[in-house]
């Protein structure tokens, strides 16, 4: 018989306000310090613009604004997570990127109806590790409405 405890997800943990979120490390291209962002006209508030990272132009989304949270002052802890999604790269502004942890599959619980102000559609599940509650994001759902909206508007 297969033992579920052998299945472990390696996740990057980051912070928005007081909440800790996690995404699969395989979806992360890099974690960057804040760099100048070029605004792009006629985009949603949460689309901050684009950056040129090592010759690649990458759209930048402020995750706080994406989730309907108040905008934060950028500081030394602010990071841009460069994530892979299908065939594109997108940068996500987060308050800080804390650490990389292993989350055993069996402690991941299905997503509750709502956690704080993050809509349940964006959540893949939650995991309790020691005294921490990690919200596991489904990046496809966080970003897919963008593609849909761009294809309708563009």
Higher confidence at residue 53 or residue 122?
Answer: 53
* Global confidence as pTM: 0.85
pLDDT computed for residue 152 by the predictor = 35
- Model confidence band, residue 121 (pLDDT cutoffs 50, 70, 90): confident
5 confidence band (pLDDT: 50, 70, 90)? low
Tokens of 39: 């605004």
Question: Is the per-residue pLDDT at 50 higher than 80?
Answer: yes
Residue 142: CB partners within 8 Å, gap ≥ 6?
Answer: 63, 66, 122
Please report the pLDDT score of residue 118 as a whole number: 59
Instruction: Report the alpha-carbon distance of residue 70 to residue 91 in Å, rounded.
Output: 19
In angstroms, rounded to a whole number, what is the distance separating the alpha carbons of residues 61 and 138? 15
Instruction: Write the class of the CATH domain 7-153.
Output: mainly beta
Instruction: Please determine, for residue 90, whether its predicted confidence score (pLDDT) is greater than 50.
Output: yes
Query: What percentage of residues in the chain have a pLDDT greater than 70?
Result: 84
Q: What is the DSSP letter of 113?
A: S
């Amino acid at each position: 018989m297969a033992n579920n405890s052998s299945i472990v997800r390696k996740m990057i943990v980051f912070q928005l306000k007081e909440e800790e979120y996690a995404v699969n490390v395989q979806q992360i291209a890099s974690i960057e310090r804040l760099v100048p962002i070029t605004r792009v006209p006629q985009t949603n508030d949460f689309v901050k613009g684009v950056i040129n990272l090592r010759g690649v132009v990458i759209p930048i989304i402020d995750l706080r604004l994406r989730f309907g949270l108040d905008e934060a002052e950028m500081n030394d802890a602010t990071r841009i997570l460069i994530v892979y999604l299908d065939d594109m790269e997108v940068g996500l502004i987060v308050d800080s990127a804390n650490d990389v942890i292993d989350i055993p599959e069996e402690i991941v619980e299905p997503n509750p109806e709502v956690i704080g102000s993050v809509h349940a559609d964006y959540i893949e599940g939650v995991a309790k590790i020691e005294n921490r509650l990690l919200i596991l994001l489904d990046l496809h759902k966080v970003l897919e409405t963008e593609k849909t909206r761009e294809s309708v508007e563009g």
